[in-house]
Amino acid sequence: MAMNNALANRQILLGITGGIAAYKAAELLRRLQNCGADVRVVMTPAATEFITPLTLQALSGHPVHTALLDPEAESGMGHIELARWADLVVVAPASADFMARLVQGLGNDLLSAVCLATSARICLAPAMNQAMWSNPATRTNAEILQQRGITLWGPADGLQACGDIGPGRMLEVDDLVAEIAGQFDTGLLAGKRVLITAGPTREAIDPVRYISNHSSGKMGFALARACADAGAITTLIAGPVALPSPPRVKRIDVVSAQDMFDEVMARVNAVDIVIAAAAVADYRAEQVAPGKIKKTGADTMNLALVKTPDIIASIASIEAGPFTVGFAAETESVEQFARDKMLRKKLDMIIANDVSRTDIGFGSEDNAVMVFWPAGAAEYQKMSKAQLSEKLVEKLSELVSEKLKQVTV
Ligand code: C5P
């Protein structure tokens, strides 16, 4: 079976509920892992009657989570951490009882609590006896879940473990893997060309020293991946970072602000959207010393610095140029400073981080942001950078289409 690139490094929470199809979850886990996904398993108590947590723990290489109020588990990855960690929640098999609990919004077992707490998409692969599936209660529950944006895959028709024939079989593992991969292709930016800057820049002082900052590049890389998932032809201009290239993204590595500026400007006429997530150095050394600067007897030394070009502001000043998105790292008065920056740089949208918070932002896996555009604002609570990127791409695609409409009217 071909490796499904769309699943590489995805964080998938696999929920297993009580039903005979639970034994197939082991194969699903294996297949997702073979496609490069990072899978964590949460089982309901009933699921453990059908397949042991040990089997899934051995296959996944991670502890299997079963209890909501387990002090040991909560100090490691508790329900909120799991909910935040997941890029996608897949419950396979999903029993009639689990669907009913989801409809009720119950949180009295770990899996339903995770489903309540997550901002990731939730997909269910129902599996149950055909009469249970056809029961009006289950039919109504299935409808309600779909109305709330939960995706249901199957069930398929056919021979059941109990001997009945009818709807209620869990979809085959191959089909589930394809559906899961498909979740990451939203098509929201189909045909659009996106250029993203990410990471820090390094400004040389001499052959061995430089000025830089703590940007990890994670937010820009996650955005690049989300844009590619949304169907955009995506180019990533990356400063020095230790991150793998997202699949389907063209990556160009650069070192200094000037290199980044040159690479961006060479491509800007051929793109529709530019997202500037890079933490570009504002100043560079006026003169790069040709040899290593020697320590002297003096207690101080002066280094003359000159401004680097402002990449995103240069792009935003191009007449009928691309849609421009900038970032604002602020420690106070976030909205005011971010809006000022948006106006000053003539951006179409700005994503603001509160960098005074130590639990998010630079280097972290998570982020929480406010987004501003001339006519509105939106707030996104703390979540993984992958999840956040999906949501930012949704907002971006909305604003890009609105702007296009205004231009064509
Ligand atoms: O002015 P400030 O650095 O706070 O602005 C941040 C935004 O501007 C970010 O989107 C950053 O990528 C972009 N920027 C840039 N070129 C610079 C400095 C910042 O594109 N030289």
Per residue in 200-215, pLDDT tens? 999 999 999 999 999 9
Give tens-digit pLDDT for 106-160: 998 999 999 999 999 999 999 999 999 999 999 999 999 999 999 999 999 988 8
Ligand 1 in reach of 200 Cβ (< 6 A): no
What integer pLDDT is reported at residue 315 of this predicted model?
A: 97
Statement: residue 171 has pLDDT above 70: yes
pLDDT given for residue 9 in this prediction: 86
Ligand 1 and 324: CB distance under 6 A: no
| Cα of 279 from ligand 1 centre, angstroms | 6
Q: Is the CB of 325 under 6 A from ligand 1?
A: no
Ligand 1 neighbourhood includes 261 CB (under 6 angstroms): no
Q: What was the pLDDT predicted at 262?
A: 98
Q: In which band, very low, low, confident or very high, does the pLDDT at 408 lie, cut at 50, 70 and 90?
A: low
Task: For ligand 1, atom 9, name the residue with the nearest CA.
Answer: 327
**Is pLDDT above 70 for 1?**
no
Position 75 scores a pLDDT of 63
- Does the structure show a pLDDT above 80 at 407? no
Q: Tell me how far apart the alpha carbons of residues 90 and 87 are, in angstroms, rounded to a whole number.
A: 10
What spacing in Å lies between the alpha carbon of 165 and ligand 1's midpoint? 62
The pLDDT, as a whole number, for residue 371 is: 97
* Ligand 1 binding pocket includes 349 (Cβ within 6 Å): no
pLDDT of 344 above 90:
yes
Check residue 361 and give its pLDDT.
65
Q: How confident is the model at residue 162 (pLDDT cuts 50, 70, 90)?
A: confident
Task: Calculate how far, in angstroms, residue 257's C-alpha sits from the geometric centre of ligand 1.
Answer: 10
User: Residue 313 CA: which ligand 1 atom is closest?
Assistant: 20
Largest CA distance in the chain: 90
Average pLDDT, the chain: 93
Q: What are phi and psi of 82, to 5 degrees?
A: -60, -45
pLDDT > 50? residue 288? yes
Ranges assigned E (strand) in 170-322? 193-198, 203-206, 209-211, 233-238, 249-253, 273-276, 283-285, 305-307
Residue 200 has what DSSP assignment?
A: B
**How remote is the CA of residue 341 from the centroid of ligand 1, in Å?**
9
Over 50: is that where the pLDDT of 353 sits? Answer: yes
Using alpha carbons, select from 85, 10, 88, 92 the residue that is nearest to residue 51: 92
For residues 76 and 249, which has the higher predicted lDDT (pLDDT)? Answer: 249
The C-alpha atoms of residue 294 and residue 286 are separated, in whole angstroms, by 18
Residue 72 has pLDDT above 90, yes or no: no
What pLDDT band is residue 76 in, cutting at 50, 70 and 90? low
* Residue from 215, 311, 347 to probe ligand 1 pocket by mutation (most atoms less than 8 Å from CB): 311
- Measured in Å, residue 209 CA sits from the centre of ligand 1 at 23
215: left (phi over 0), alpha (psi -120 to 50) or beta: beta
Name which of 302, 329, 234, 218 is nearest 273 in CA terms.
234
What is each CA distance from 119 to 237, 277, 278, in whole angstroms? 29, 23, 26
Q: Lowest mean pLDDT: which of 14-18, 112-116, 162-166, 321-325?
A: 162-166
The confidence band for 404, taking pLDDT boundaries of 50, 70 and 90, is: confident
pLDDT at 185: 85
pLDDT above 80 for 358 = no
Under the banding of pLDDT at 50, 70 and 90, the label for residue 409 is low
**Reported confidence tier of residue 266, pLDDT bands at 50, 70, 90:** very high
2: pLDDT strictly greater than 50: no
Average pLDDT over residues 25-50: 96
**Range 44-53 average pLDDT:** 96
Over residues 302-316, the mean pLDDT reads 96
Cβ of 310 below 6 Å from ligand 1: yes
Question: Is 398 or 68 the better-scoring residue by pLDDT?
Answer: 398
What is residue 331's predicted lDDT score, i.e. its pLDDT? 87
Instruction: Give the catalytic positions in this structure.
Output: 162
Strand partners, 206: 209
